[in-house]
A and B are shown apart, each in its own frame.
Chain A
Amino acid sequence: MPSKAGRRFMIGLDVGSTTAKIVRIVDGEIEYQITGTHNWKELVKGVKKEDIISTGYFRHSVPHRASVTEITAAQFGVKHYFPEAEVIVDIGGQDTKVIDVKSNNFIINDRCSAGTGAFLEFVANYFKLELNEIGTLHFQAKRIPDINNTCGVFAISEMISQLVAGYSKEEVIAGMHYAFARRISFMIPETETIVLIGGTVKNEGMVSALRDILKKDILMPPEPQIVNALGALKYYS
């Protein structure tokens, strides 16, 4: 992909625990591709090592000229869209990172699935649905059951009890989005605006629950999943 019409481009390559993404900037336009982590090699076919700036969990294992942690890459990537960003929340498949740009501080939850994309994946799997489908069903809920457990496994049993108690599928899904959003909100510092990035934030139901709980301005780049790959590229240049 980098040698388009004979031209060479630097690329940002983000290989995370579930997906791999690459970004390059061609004539000022951001171009990107996303695939499963196991297919990462396809993204860099024909790309020279010297043209790759890597980030993500596997940043050291893939070929690269320079590498940067996801935490720094996120800040550079977000700056491209929102130069004034104060707090970045990156919700990935296996972990969630909250970066306080002002105080140069970050918190990572990677010890427990409850506040990561894996939690919503459980929910989607339970109903044999895709992640974006549960995001849409959320808006059909008429009432929202209280789901108090923040542990992923216990929350699933609580969800089943609510189904037995008569709540609809849409309603318990919304309840789970609220439980998830509450869990994330504990990690977020005082701020006026929050930028959300990462694959999980494409779930609109979850974002709406988070907006409702935090009562803050929530900003999202057009493609939240590629921000770190873009950031790696920006970091280098």
Chain B
Amino acid sequence: MHRAHVSKIGMTALVPPELIFACAGEPFDVNNIIPASKNYPKNKLCAWTAIWREMLVKREIKIDSLIVVAGGDCHNALVDGQKAAMSGIPTHFFFYPFDGDVQYLESQLHKLSSFLGNIEYPEKFRDVKALKKLGRKIDNKRLNGKISSSEAFRILVSFSDLMGDLDRFRNALDIKEGNIALNNRVALIGVPPIYHDFHEAAQSLDLQIVFDELPYEFVRHSGDDINEVALDYCNYTFARSLDFRIEFLQKELEKRKVEGVIHYTQFACHHVLEDEILRAKLDYPMLTIQGDLPGKTPQQIKLRLEAFREVLERS
């Protein structure tokens, strides 16, 4: 059974891509094109949402419908998502439960499934699950210095939509291994940096990022059907309380033997407010940086990274 037209489904943050594939859709994470974008949007708070909003409204991103993550993400996305909806794009608002309520999430997934035209290919759940297992292997190889941090990041971050095509994505996972010296092992927490060469910049300053908090969430959750997906995705840390997220981070940072933590924050993002709590609760040297518009990593950020490496080398 083949459809004449596969719908391209835009998403503003993590939405289980397995469900979109199962409903015969092609997921497209609208954030993936932001770091390389040269768009300077009007009326902006966070550049991530402002840029995709502007591009959606001007139809510079071609999608058939949009899923806005409204609960468990941010209000900037919620407002900019509504602007995109008002411009005529069929839009669905998806809510994660703050308290991890599985039944609530399951009902949200059923609503989403009806919006997408219901499940047509249930086997896609398992296909995506198998790919995510490979994703976790890649993450592990980076942890052991077999794959560079920039390469691992590029792959992990594209697990939000698996490039909209499982076969093409499977081929892209085939990467050459090497031997990378893991001096100055650091974790990168917070939302991903808006700069397209951030991991390369850190690497060139001899900081090895061995953990990418949000992209790791993209490979951590899966399930063979809606119920299993609900059971697993209800632990998506960014949608839960700070205590829940910090407890997860503490274990992960210890397991990965990191020496320091880089907290990336985005200008005008509510996550900026979390910095002092993360500093108080995570017992590592921490560098906080803030980005605004996309592009190359600016000199001022590089200065901070270099100074942070000097801090790690002295401690």
> Please, which residues of chain B bring their CB within 8 A of the CB of A110?
300
Contact A72 B310 (CB under 8 A): yes
Q: Looking at chain A, what size class is its interface with the partner chain?
A: 10 to 19
Residues on A with beta carbons closer than 8 Å to the beta carbon of B307: 69-72, 106
> Chain A residues near B300 (CB, 8 Å)?
95, 108, 110
Indicate whether A125 reaches chain B with its CB closer than 8 angstroms: no
A233 to B281 Cα, complex, angstroms: 36
How does the 8 Å CB contact mask read for A107-136 relative to B, with 1 for contact and 0 for none?
A: 010100000000000000000000000000
A57 to B303, CA, bound (A): 8
With A104-B285, A110-B300: A69-B310 Cβ-Cβ less than 8 Å: yes
| CB-based contact B304/A108 at 8 Å | yes
Shortest CB-to-CB span from A92 to chain B, Å, is 12
B299 (CB) vs chain A CBs: closest residue: A57
Q: Is B84 an interface residue (CB 8 A)?
A: no
Bound together, the chains give a CA A68 to CA B313 distance in angstroms of 12
Measured CB to CB, the nearest residue on chain A to B286 is A105
Within 8 A of A (CB), among B264-315: 285-286, 300, 303-304, 306-307, 310-311, 314-315
Contact indicator A69/B306 (Cβ below 8 Å): yes
The closest CB in chain A to the CB of B260 belongs to A104
Residues of B within 8 A of A105 (CB): 285-286
CA distance A110 to B315 in the complex (A): 26
**Closest residue to B279 on the A side, CB-wise?**
A105
Q: In the assembled complex, how far is the CB of residue B287 from the closest CB belonging to chain A, in whole angstroms?
A: 8
Residue in contact with B315 in the complex, picked from A57, A104, A106, CB distance below 8 Å: A104
Measured CA separation A71–B312 after assembly (Å): 13
CB distance from B229 to the nearest CB of A (A): 41
Chain B min CB distance to A188 (Å): 15
Distance, CA A8 to CA B315, complexed state (A): 32
**Could you tell me which residues of chain A, from 45 to 66, have a CB within 8 Å of some CB in chain B?**
57
A95 and B310 CA atoms in complex are apart in Å by 20
Give the distance to chain B from A77, nearest Cβ to Cβ, in Å. Answer: 14
Q: A108-B300, A110-B300 are contacts. A68–B285 as well, Cβ < 8 Å? A: no
Complex Cα distance A131/B190, Å? 41
Q: In whole angstroms, what is the CA distance A225 to B246 when docked?
A: 42
The interface bits of chain B over 140-176 (1 if a CB of A lies within 8 angstroms of the residue's CB, else 0) are 0000000000000000000000000000000000000
List residues of chain A with CB within 8 A of the CB of B311. 72, 104
Residues of B within 8 A of A70 (CB): 303, 307
Q: CA of A106 to CA of B311 in the docked complex: distance in angstroms?
A: 10
**In the bound complex, what is the Cα–Cα distance between A228 and B44 (angstroms)?**
38
Which residues in A have their C-beta under 8 angstroms from that of B286? 105
Interface string of A68-90 (1 = CB under 8 A from B): 11111000000000000000000
Closest Cβ of chain A to B183, distance in Å, is 17
Q: Are A68 and B315 in contact (CB-based, < 8 A)?
A: no
Asked whether A68 and B310 contact (CB < 8 A) given A104-B285, A104-B315, the answer is: yes
Cβ contact within 8 Å between A69 and B303: yes
Q: Cα distance A106–B287 when bound, in Å?
A: 8
Q: Nearest Cβ distance between residue B277 and chain A, in whole angstroms?
A: 15
- Report A-chain residues with C-beta under 8 Å of the C-beta of B304: 106, 108
The residue in chain B whose Cβ has the minimal distance to the Cβ of A107 is: B288
Interface string of B26-43 (1 = CB under 8 A from A): 000000000000000000
- Closest CB in chain B relative to A14 CB, distance in Å: 14
Closest to B285 in A: A104
Chain B residues near A68 (CB-CB < 8 A): 310
Nearest chain A CB to B282 CB, angstrom units = 13
The smallest beta-carbon distance between B312 and chain A, in angstroms, is: 9
On chain B, the residues within 8 Å of A72 by CB distance are 307, 310-311, 314
Chain B: minimal CB distance from A10 (Å): 19
- How near does chain A come to B23, taking the closest CB pair, in angstroms? 44
Contacts of A69 in B (CB 8 A): 303, 306-307, 310
Interface mask (A90-106 → B, CB under 8 Å = 1, otherwise 0): 00000100000000111
Q: A71-B310, A95-B300, A104-B315 are in contact. List 16 more A-B contacts (CB 8 A).
A: A68-B310, A69-B307, A69-B310, A70-B307, A71-B303, A71-B307, A72-B307, A72-B311, A104-B311, A104-B314, A105-B285, A105-B286, A106-B304, A108-B303, A108-B304, A110-B300
Of the A-B pairs whose beta carbons lie under 8 Å apart in the complex, a sample of 19, sorted by A's number, is A57-B303, A69-B303, A69-B306, A69-B307, A69-B310, A70-B303, A70-B307, A71-B307, A71-B310, A72-B307, A72-B311, A95-B300, A104-B285, A104-B311, A104-B314, A105-B285, A105-B286, A106-B307, A108-B303
> Residues of B at under 8 Å CB distance from A?
285-286, 300, 303-304, 306-307, 310-311, 314-315
- What 5 pairs across the A-B complex have the smallest Cβ distances? A71-B307, A69-B307, A72-B310, A69-B306, A110-B300
